[in-house]
C-alpha cells in the first residue's frame, strides 16, 4: 500500500492537470506544466520503482519495443477510428504540437507503464496467486504484505492481464476503451515475452509518437 502513492502520483497529477485546467489555460502553458510537474514527480519517486530492465538484453528489448509499438499504433487506430468522426478535432499550433509530442512520447509512457505494468499488473497477479491459495482477504494481503519486487520477470496470470488492461482502459475516454484494452493486452504480452518494462515503455512511446506524426501529416486530428 505504501508504494501506491509513488506509482500513482505522476499519473493522477497528469490527469488532474488535464481535467482541472483544460480550456482554462492555453495548451502550450498546460503542456509545459505537464513537462515540468510530472517528470519532477517521477524523479522524486524513482527510488521506489521496480527495475526497468530484466534478464534479457535491454537493447534487444528496445528493438522488440519498436516492433510492438508499430503494431500497437495499427491496433489503436483500427479500434479507435470507428468511434471518431473524420474532420473532428482542430490542428494544434506548432509549439503546442511539439510540447504534446514530447509529453506523449517521452513522459506518458514512463508513468503509465510503471503504474499499469509495474504496479497494477503485479498487485493483481499477487492477489490472484493469494486467492488461489485461499489466503484470507487476499486483496489486502497483496497490497500490504506481498511485495511487487517479488514478482518474477515475465510472470503472469490471466487475471493480471485482464485487470491491468481494464484499469488502463478506464483512464481513457469511452470511445478509446476497445483500443485501450487491446493495447493493454499487447503490452502485457510484451512483458511476458521480454520480461522487462523497458520494452513496454519503448513500445508505448513509439505508438504515441507514431500517432502524433500520423495525425500531423495526414490531418486526422480526431485521433489525438
Query: Domain-by-domain residue ranges, the chain?
Result: 4-223
Q: What is the pLDDT of residue 185?
A: 99
Q: What is the pLDDT of residue 3?
A: 93
For the chain, state the CA radius of gyration.
Answer: 18
- CA dist., res. 28 & res. 98, Å (int): 9
Percent of the chain with pLDDT over 90: 91
Q: What is the pLDDT of residue 89?
A: 81
DSSP structural state of residue 152: P
Alpha-helix runs per DSSP H in the chain: 4-21, 27-45, 58-80, 94-102, 108-115, 121-132, 138-144, 158-170, 177-194, 198-218
Confidence of residue 90 (pLDDT cuts 50, 70, 90): confident
Q: What is the pLDDT of residue 148?
A: 96
Average confidence (pLDDT) over 103-111: 98
Average confidence (pLDDT) over 142-155: 95
Confidence of residue 154 (pLDDT cuts 50, 70, 90): very high
Average confidence (pLDDT) over 103-122: 98
* pLDDT reading at 22 higher than 90: no
How confident is the model over 177-224, as pLDDT tens digits? 999 999 999 999 999 999 999 999 999 999 999 999 999 999 999 998
Backbone CA torsion sign across 5, 8, 9, 15: negative
- CA dist., res. 126 & res. 74, Å (int): 32
> C-alpha cell of 192?
511476458
Average confidence (pLDDT) over 89-103: 93
Confidence of residue 138 (pLDDT cuts 50, 70, 90): very high
- pTM for this entry: 0.95
Average confidence (pLDDT) over 120-132: 97
* Angstrom distances, CA of residue 215 to CA of 101, 145, 185, 208, 209: 11, 45, 24, 11, 10
How many CA atoms does the CB half-sphere of 72 hold within 13 Å? Answer: 30
Confidence of residue 86 (pLDDT cuts 50, 70, 90): confident
Amino acid at each position: 500500500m505504501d508504494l501506491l502513492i509513488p506509482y500513482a502520483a505522476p499519473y493522477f497529477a497528469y490527469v488532474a492537470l488535464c481535467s482541472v485546467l483544460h480550456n482554462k489555460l492555453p495548451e502550450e502553458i498546460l503542456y509545459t506544466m505537464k513537462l515540468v510537474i510530472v517528470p519532477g514527480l517521477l524523479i522524486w519517486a524513482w527510488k521506489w520503482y521496480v527495475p526497468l530492465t530484466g534478464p534479457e538484453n535491454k537493447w534487444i528489448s528496445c528493438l522488440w519495443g519498436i516492433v510492438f509499438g508499430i503494431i500497437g499504433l495499427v491496433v489503436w487506430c483500427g479500434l479507435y477510428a470507428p468511434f471518431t468522426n473524420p474532420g473532428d478535432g482542430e490542428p494544434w499550433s506548432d509549439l503546442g504540437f511539439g510540447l504534446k509530442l514530447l509529453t506523449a512520447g517521452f513522459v506518458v509512457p514512463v508513468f503509465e507503464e510503471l503504474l499499469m505494468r509495474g504496479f497494477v499488473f503485479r498487485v493483481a497477479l499477487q492477489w490472484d496467486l493469494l486467492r488461489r491459495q485461499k489466503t484470507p482477504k487476499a486483496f489486502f494481503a497483496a497490497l500490504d504484505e506481498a511485495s511487487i519486487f517479488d514478482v518474477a520477470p515475465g510472470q503472469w496470470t490471466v487475471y493480471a492481464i485482464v485487470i491491468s488492461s481494464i484499469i488502463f482502459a478506464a483512464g481513457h475516454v469511452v470511445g478509446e476503451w476497445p483500443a485501450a484494452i487491446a493495447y493493454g493486452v499487447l503490452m502485457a504480452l510484451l512483458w511476458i515475452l521480454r520480461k522487462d518494462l523497458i520494452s513496454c515503455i519503448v513500445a508505448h512511446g513509439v505508438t504515441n509518437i507514431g500517432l502524433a506524426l500520423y495525425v500531423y501529416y495526414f490531418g486526422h486530428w480526431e485521433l489525438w
